[in-house]
Amino acid sequence: MPDVIDDAWLADLLRHRAAMLTDAEIAADAAGALVAHGFALDADGLVTRTLLDALDETWERGWQPADVSHVARRKATAGSAQLVVALMAEHARRSSAVDRAPGTWVDQLRELGALGGAPPRDGAVVADWQRSERRPPAEAWRIALQLLGTLRSTARLELLVPPPSRWGAARRRAEGPATGSDDRALRVIRGLLAKAESTEFAEEAEALTAKAQALMTRHAVDAAVLQGELPPGDVGTRRVHVADPYVRAKVQLLGAVAEANDVRLVWYQGLGIATVVGGRADLDAVELLFTSLLLQVAQGLAAAERQAGRYASPRTFRRAFLLGYAHRIGERLQDARRRATAEAAAERELDLLPVLRSRREAVDAAVAELFPKLRTSRSRASVDAGGWSAGQTAAERADVGPRRSPLD
């Protein structure tokens, strides 16, 4: 820190040197120096204005509200969660987001709790947040500075939803609304998975998850028969946020679920963010099943660790367990999809392969347009054999295929 810390130094730090504040130690040192020199946090609204400017720049780089919330927790600090929500709420007020933003954007703001509520006094969001959270000055400065560094250093992502600069004066129409049939099917699938997550009986969870996957497959086949080729407007995109720890292994599980349901996945390494591309109803179903399997695999891992007892490296065992689980789940999902598709084709006396192939090609074309420089990579890291085997065993118990015959 320099010997002289004044308004000019603070303005330069916030506007031109913010990227270095992603380092927790640098942010803490700067916060301590500011407090020692008597700088009140956001006394004139400077920090609020700077953070809102950084947020606006982040929107223009392809980020959405849920993305910012996820990365703020992951890259900055958990203490910044409420500050991010407060900043997004103020941005929504100033930009009239409820009336102008795409429905997806408004839905994310609502889920984050960034809609409604009283505006901050004099527009000073950061000062209002400090008072409500009762943060000590040095801690509040550190959180605000580290969040600013995170926002200033966000990478450019593919633009999936128009940013604020492209919003019109009137509210946009909902994009590709689900039909009543879609709503009903997803409600049933959601209910089955919720029961699978809550039951203490493994066999009941298996049966419920199996039924949910069977419904997902039949729903996709029904849509293919009714629609034929997938309409361009029905190919959607969505971001899925994968939390630490073991992000790579969890993404493998998401990829297995996506692939079995004709959804393509692109992963942003280092961010814990994946983009999934596919039919809109398929995206809903994949996200539901992935969330359910995450809960189920956590239960399976806890049981496997109790059975395994002591071992050399808990992290290595857990990572291998998740990878083994993902691998076997993928195999069983593919098997369940093939069986359900064959049964539907026999019932209708139709050859479904051409129409399903055309729908996959429509999704692939959308991926190629969004990600022209996409490259495929696979992990070559070694895994713990015991953990892998335990994960595969747990995946057998979490079978998601129709249970009309003994499993192979």
**Cis preceding linkage at 245, omega within 30:** yes
Question: Is the distance from CB of 157 to CB of 67 less than 8 angstroms?
Answer: yes
Angle at 397 between CA 396 and CA 398, to 5 degrees: 90
Q: Give pLDDT tens digits for 247-262.
A: 999 999 999 999 988 8
Task: Of 17-31, 110-124, 348-362, give the lowest mean pLDDT range.
Answer: 348-362
What are the boundaries of each domain within the chain?
7-166, 181-397
Q: Which of 95-104, 171-180, 253-262 has the highest mean pLDDT?
A: 95-104
127 vs 299, higher pLDDT: 127
Question: Is the distance from CB of 341 to CB of 217 less than 8 angstroms?
Answer: yes
Q: Give pLDDT tens digits for 135-173.
A: 999 999 999 999 999 999 999 999 999 999 999 986 644
Reported in sequence order, the residue ranges of 196-317 that DSSP labels E, i.e. its strands, are 235-241, 264-268, 273-279
SS3 assignment for 143-169: HHHHHHHHHHCCCCCCCCCCCHHHCCC
pTM: 0.80
Quote the pLDDT of residue 406.
31
The two three-digit tokens of residue 270, written as one number: 């280092």
**DSSP letter, residue 62:** T
